[in-house]
Amino acid sequence: MSFPILTVAAALPAVGAVLTAALPPATNTRSRDRNKVVPLLFSLGTLVLACVVAARYQPHGARYQMTENHSWIPQFGINYSLGVDGLGVVLILLTGVLVPFVMLASWHDADPVVDDSGTFERNRRTQGFFALILAVEAMVVIAFEATDVFLFYVFFEAMLIPMYFLIGGFGDRTKGEDARQRSYAAVKFLLYNLLGGLVMLAAVIGLYTITHTFSLVSITTALQNGSLHFSSTAENALFLGFMFAFAVKAPLWPLHTWLPNAMGEATPGVAVLITAVVDKVGTFAMLRFCLQLFPQASKTFAPAILVLSVIGILYGALLAVGQKDIKRLVAYASISHFGFIILGIFALTSQGQSGAELYMVNHGVSTAAWLLVAGFLMSRRGSRLIADYGGVQKVAPIMAGTFLVGGLAILSLPGLGPFVSEFLVLVGTFERYPALGIVATAGIVLAALYVLVLYQRTMTGPVKPGNEGVGDLKARELVVVAPLIALLLVLGVYPKPIADIVNPSVNQTLSQMGQSDPTPHLTSAHSNAATTTTGGGQ
């Protein structure tokens, strides 16, 4: 039996979470830092395993590779089945890359808070914060690997629990308000996603009653060879059940309202974990489960989903322009970007889906770079309000420069990673739905507006009172930001390694759906001339 690399990749952060939580409470700064090193090492080990998975994956090989299959609950046909395709590989790699940076950026986010009298305002076990991050990583990784629908559902739901505690128990401390806002954001996050999960559970049960299996491979194979047929009513209902859950997670307008609250109240590192890692499970699942299990229903509902995506693009961008809170601005920007991703998925063209899959990676890296630098700024000033900043580039030029590069990536400047993916999404959409493609381009203009206005208000002009002591990035912070900026540059000028991995998966998905790209209608100059001559003779 081959080495179970996929199980180990998911188990390592889970073991790290348990060991980290079991560490003795820290009694001083030195022991607290030592307790933080343990989860960081486990996250780096997971990154190494993610790189091994990517190196072993053969883009033109079998659809699912490094597969594992073990009976779990045989009475109900539930198996522990794992396997990765191209998209799963790159998202596991993205998760492995981002989590160590999130930990480094959040190094002091769970430290005790001491008031002026020297008493603790908030005194918690710091290692609990990092244990929860590792738990989320483990569940996200196995969700990207699961090829059993029930196994996927279990971890799709289970990841909500550590995220709930990260938002509500270790929320933002720069706002100066009590814990009620954090609790509200955490409960709203949990209820929205639990509702989506309950609807999905009904659809999972419905799928089993028809197919008598939870195996994604078995169901898709049966659909392809004609041995399994869904009635149109059943397929549409099952598709909507799955899609509802994934649209909440993604999030897609109008199911998005939990995200600004969650990101606003979470620490910057946890906010990155939400939008750059956890939310990608929703868009990933649309490609793996919705399109493959319910191909006809996907085609039926694609126009409606595309309209919602375009609304999300414009709605998120417009609300980002009007935000006064930095983190809520980034949250609404992410809603707009998820609109682009879902637009590419349901355009049902090879360019659109390739762009969407690239966009998942590029959005994760660009949002992490932009938001983590913003987090370093907010931790110094103690405020999330844009109006409290101004002239920061004069006192912290490196911070201002990295913040600008992150923002330029968010608005998809050519030469930075998101440009290629956004361009492909728009081209792929225009091929089949030109009107929606044209309207969606307005999101690019609005992105330039909210990014540049934010930079102007925070970084340029005279130094506002209270910003004089904002120091520049420290060594630990540069270790976080510099690799992310470098990655944005590399993906901007050379996206081929990622594209080579995801493109075969895109082609296989469209082939399973019986979908092909629209045939271009081109008229040569010679044909035009002949037509004109013939018409003149008549």
Among 107-111, 433-437, 464-468, whose mean pLDDT is lowest? 107-111
Lowest mean per-residue pLDDT among 186-200, 477-491, 512-526: 512-526
454 pLDDT tier (thresholds 50, 70, 90): very high
Q: What's residue 381's pLDDT?
A: 84
Answer yes or no: are the C-beta atoms of 505 and 63 closer than 8 Å: yes
% of the chain at pLDDT higher than 90: 59
Instruction: Label residue 141 left, alpha or beta by phi (over 0 means left) and psi (-120 to 50 means alpha).
Output: alpha
Q: What is the pLDDT of residue 113?
A: 63
Residue 363 has pLDDT above 50, yes or no: yes
Buried b (16+ CB within 10 A) or exposed e, 458-472: bbeeeebeebeebeb
pLDDT tens-digit readout, 498-518: 999 999 988 888 888 877 777
Lowest-confidence region among 40-54, 323-337, 377-391, 488-502: 377-391
Which value, to the nearest 10 degrees, does the dihedral of the CA atoms of residues 365, 315, 166, 120 take?
110
Burial class (CB in 10 A: 0-12, 13-18, 19+), 530: exposed
- Tokens 């996603």 sit on residue: 193
Q: Which residue has the higher pLDDT, 530 or 190?
A: 190
Q: What is the mean pLDDT of residues 169-181?
A: 65
Count of beta carbons in the 10 Å neighbourhood of residue 37: 11
Please tell me which residue, 215 or 25, carries the higher pLDDT value.
215
Is residue 357 within 8 A of residue 89, CB to CB? The reply is no
Flag the least confident range among 233-247, 312-326, 500-514: 500-514
Instruction: Give the rounded percent of residues in the chain with a pLDDT score beyond 70.
Output: 92
Least confident piece of the model among 322-336, 375-389, 518-532: 518-532
Give the tens place of pLDDT for each residue, 407-423: 999 988 999 989 999 99
User: 521 falls in which pLDDT band (50, 70, 90)?
Assistant: low
Q: Decide: 285 and 156 in contact? Cβ < 8 Å.
A: yes
Average pLDDT over residues 389-393: 89
More confident residue, 504 or 30: 504
What local confidence, expressed as pLDDT, does residue 533 receive?
A: 43
pLDDT tens for 48-86 read 999 999 999 999 888 899 999 998 888 888 899 999 999
359, 360, 422, 490, 503 from 352: Cα distances, Å? 10, 12, 9, 21, 11
Query: pTM here?
Result: 0.90
Segment among 61-70, 150-159, 519-528 with least mean pLDDT: 519-528
Q: Where does the pLDDT of residue 532 fall: very low under 50, low under 70, confident under 90, or very high at 90 and above?
A: very low
**Three-state secondary structure of 400-469:** HHHHHHHHHHHCCCCCCHHHHHHHHHHHHHHHHCHHHHHHHCHHHHHHHHHHHHHHHHHHCCCCCCCCCC
Query: What is the per-residue pLDDT for 179?
Result: 66
The pLDDT score that the predictor gives to residue 111 is 75
Residue 31's pLDDT band (cuts 50, 70, 90): confident
Q: d(Cα 389, Cα 407) in Å, to the nearest integer?
A: 16
Residue 27 has pLDDT above 80, yes or no: no
In angstroms, what CA-CA distances link 499 with 88, 107, 350, 357, 494? 13, 34, 12, 9, 9
pLDDT digit string, tens, across residues 76-128 = 888 999 999 999 999 999 999 999 999 999 888 777 765 544 444 444 567 88
Contacts of 311-315 spanning 24+ positions with Cβ under 8 A: 311/253, 311/339, 312/252, 312/253, 312/256, 312/336, 312/338, 312/339, 312/342, 313/339, 313/340, 313/343, 313/440, 313/442, 313/443, 314/439, 314/442, 314/443, 314/446, 315/253
Q: At 385, phi and psi to the nearest 5?
A: -80, 130
Is the C-alpha dihedral spanning 219, 223, 228, 232 positive or negative? positive
Provide the pLDDT for residue 522.
55
> What are 137's two structure tokens?
């990583």
Closest CA to 320 of 432, 135, 451: 451
Most confident segment among 84-93, 226-235, 466-475: 84-93
What integer is the mean pLDDT of 426-438? 91
